[in-house]
Structure 1
Amino acid sequence: MLVLLPPSETKHPGGDGPPVDLSSLTAPELTPVRTELVEALVKLADDVPASRAALALSPKQDDEIERNAALWTSPTLPALQRYTGVLYDALDVRSLTRAQRARADRRLAVGSALFGVVGGADLVPAYRLSAGSTLPGQPTLRALWKPALSPVLAAVDGLVVDLRSGSYAALAPVPGAVTLQVLSERPDGTRSVVSHFNKAHKGRVARLLAASTAEPGDVVGLRRLLRRAGLHVEHDGGTALTLVVPTAEA
């Protein structure tokens, strides 16, 4: 089972790992595209106004440009510790047991605008690049990533659970992947899409899948696993699941 997570705009700073070795990351066949994008970001960092425009940054975020300038030399962290925010707070990998963390490193991967996809234990530097960014003189990120990344994800042996946000899923869709929509249900039975806390619920699902020793092979098995954990999950056919949470918990 492979669980694809979205990245976060913000990243934990620093780290104690060596500078990034692109060929050591998951799916080394992506190294040419990764190298092209890292080089482009490092070069772009020499032009602060252009960096701000391309990356949608304000002057108060110029430290993000400095991070990009140091991509080849800055320290690294495991991917599951580098990314921050609501989803990763809910995932809380630091509190997993050793066995659970080993499963998390094996099962969880992060979609990345810069690296395409990185495994949970892959050592990556802090950086700033979003799926919607367009770098000067470069094709769109979707045009760069789709031909290279799609075959990698399509070749995954086993169930793929795609929790990426729309813009990251668009970089390389995975045919047949299980997706998860989160809906809140009011006392009168009406429902609405969860927006703000959508990532938190997906982070909890990712944690559950990392912690479980079960290995579901299809969407039905995955639904069964989630329901055994006390989640209200509906399956109306196909590969889409719906997680329904009471409004008070949404």
Structure 2
Amino acid sequence: MLILLPPSEGKTAAAAGEPFKPDELHFPELTAARREVLSALAQVSSSPEALAHLGVGASLAAEVQRNTRLQDEPSAPAHTVYSGVLYDALGYRGMTPAQKRKADDAVVVISALWGAIGFADRIPAYRLSMSVGLPETGKLASYWKRHLPAALDAHAEGHLLVDCRSSSYAAAWAPAPERTVVVNVFQERDGKRTVVSHFAKHTRGELARHLLTRRGKAPGTPAALLKAAQEQWTAELVPGTGRKPHALNIILAG
């Protein structure tokens, strides 16, 4: 089982530590592409129009300025740098050592800056969204869509993929649909279902934690994933097609 996560918008910067080392990140096939994005991001972030180009407000000016020196910034494991609703619900810090090792092996974060990284890879905090376009790369979702298959297709072979990504990050890589399950979260009230954004992030984090901390064998099929989810939630499985992944729908009471 592999769990695909998006990064968090906000990042927790490391207070101290060595800069990241490109050759120690997972998926070395992406090293050249990462270098290109790092260079383009540093150039954009040093321009007078940096905030507008990156789609952020003046309150994030310091984070944008940090983008110009990422190769010298302190780094920390990705599970520490990424924060926010989903990562709080996943609760890596409160896991046992064995559960943390399982998470380090199973979680892959799809990133606008790095393409894809392992959960324990050491990275600096940065500010960049997959929806942004950079002068040297164009739209990042399209850029990574050209590069990620060479790095991730073989890594995903033989695994069930639990896809907890948001739509912009899902656009960057489409794994084989027959072994991929997209996680959707709905709220049901008076028989009517609605999509929920905040609770979706939280629930996806909770699902990831449940899969990483529950006893027994990790689910290897969509049906096994449904059974695991039903240990905690009301859930249903919508079978995929030859071109469309399966969908796990988690239903929250209104």
Q: TM-score, normalised by structure 1?
A: 0.93
Correspondence list, 1:34-49, <5 A? 34-47=34-47, 49=48
Inter-partner Cα distance in structure 2 for 1:15 and 1:102? 24
1:62 aligns with 2:61: yes
Is 1:243 matched with 2:250?
yes
Are residue 221 (structure 1) and residue 228 (structure 2) matched?
A: no
Alpha-carbon offset, residue 134 of structure 1: 1.0
Q: Tell me what 2:243 maps to.
A: none
Give 5+ residue unaligned stretches, structure 1.
none
Partner deviation per Cα, 1:151-191 (whole Å, 9 max, x = no partner) = 333221311111100000101122221101111112x3222
After the TM superposition, which of the residue ranges 27-36 and 50-59 deviates more from structure 2? Answer: 50-59
- Tell me which residue corresponds to 2:169: 168
Residue 235 of structure 1, CA deviation: 1.2
- TM-score, with length taken from structure 2: 0.91
Unaligned stretches of 5+ residues in structure 2: 241-245
TM-fit CA distance, 1:15: 4.2
> CA separation in 1, counterparts of 2:219 and 2:69?
41
| Corresponding residue SS for 1:57 | coil
**CA contact 2:45–2:51 (8 Å) conserved in 1:** no
CA distance in structure 1 between the aligned counterparts of 2:125 and 2:206, rounded to whole angstroms: 24
Count of aligned residue pairs for this structure pair? 244
Over 3 Å counting, the alpha-carbon distance change for 1:34 and 1:137 in structure 2 is: closer
Q: Quote how far apart the aligned CAs of 1:135 are.
A: 1.3
Identity %: 41
For 2:149, the aligned partner's letter is S
Once the two structures are superposed, residues 10-50 of structure 1 have per-residue CA deviations (whole angstroms, 9 ceiling, x without a partner) of 10022444211122111110001101111112222322x22
Contact 1:105 1:119 in 2 (8 A): yes
CA contact (8 A) 1:17 1:123 kept: no
| Distance in 1 of aligned mates of 2:126 and 2:219 | 34
In the alignment, the residues of structure 1 paired with residue 172 and residue 239 of structure 2 have an alpha-carbon distance, to the nearest angstrom, of 25
Contact 1:54–1:136 (8 Å) recurs in 2: no
Shift of 1:89: 1.0
Paired with 1:165 and 1:150, the residues of 2 have a C-alpha distance of: 18
Residue in structure 1 matched with residue 234 of structure 2 by the alignment: 232
Does structure 1 conserve the Cα–Cα contact (< 8 Å) formed by 2:46 and 2:65?
Answer: no
Partners of 1:230 and 1:142 lie apart in 2 by 33
How do residues 56-95 of structure 1 correspond to structure 2 at under 5 angstroms?
56-95=55-94
